[in-house]
Amino acid sequence: MINLNELTIDLKECEKLLDGFKNLLDTSDEISEGKADGLLKFFQSRPQLIILIGKWRFAMDAKFYKPELNLFNEFRADFAVCDSKKKNFLFIEFEDARKNSVFSEITNEGTTRYEWASRFEHGFSQVLDWFYRLDDYSRTNKMEEHFGHSKIEYSGLLVIGRDKFIKEAGCESRLSWRKEKLMINNNPVHCITFDQLYLELEEKLFTIQADLAGYL
């Protein structure tokens, strides 16, 4: 069975870490995923933000997380977050935040068009494979062996790219439509940029703080 790390959210720490995330976005237009100063290392060293992602909009009282989660010795998720009962999971895939991360510019005979980038399709295919295997094993004892439950609820999150490059391409509506309409086997897959992730986490943190203070 998978081993998960327990972590209680620290709102003050999250506030500080979110400031660091904003500074990273403000000082770098393009950010790699896997380098020593890349996005994956950034979040691996800041698990409080991963817990906050779990609390974001997934109806989850996030309590446990795991970096580089091994799924059935076949696939790997950059992060997994789950609730206190370990029955509701969010599987997260981070890709890079570059100009051609989400859409690639194709120019032919003076005409420019934009296609879904190979990096985006790679990241999305990762989530697709997780969901395929989770559904495939839902009818076997492997789910119990791996998660400790014969059935779990789950959703996926792909974080990739930057708002400015998508706006420059004029493709905001294409990404919005895909992230709002697309589900895999009745399970939601959310596709957002790193800028959108920051704004969503900032709003979620404010909501939690206001709720605790009795403002909501």
49/47 Cα distance (integer angstroms): 5
pLDDT surpasses 60 at 216: no
How far, CA to CA in Å, does 77 sit from each of 43, 99, 110, 200? 13, 24, 40, 21
102/170 Cα distance (integer angstroms): 12
For residue range 114-140, list pLDDT tens digits in order: 999 999 999 999 999 999 999 999 989
- Entry pTM: 0.93
Half-sphere exposure of 138 (CA within 13 A, CB side): 12
For residue range 69-113, list pLDDT tens digits in order: 999 999 999 999 999 999 999 999 999 999 999 999 998 877 889
The tokens describing 71, both together, are 């799924």
Report the amino acid identity of residue 35. K
φ/ψ of 6, rounded to 5, equals: -85, 140
pLDDT surpasses 70 at 58: no
Provide, rounded to the nearest whole percent, the portion of the chain with pLDDT above 90. Answer: 79
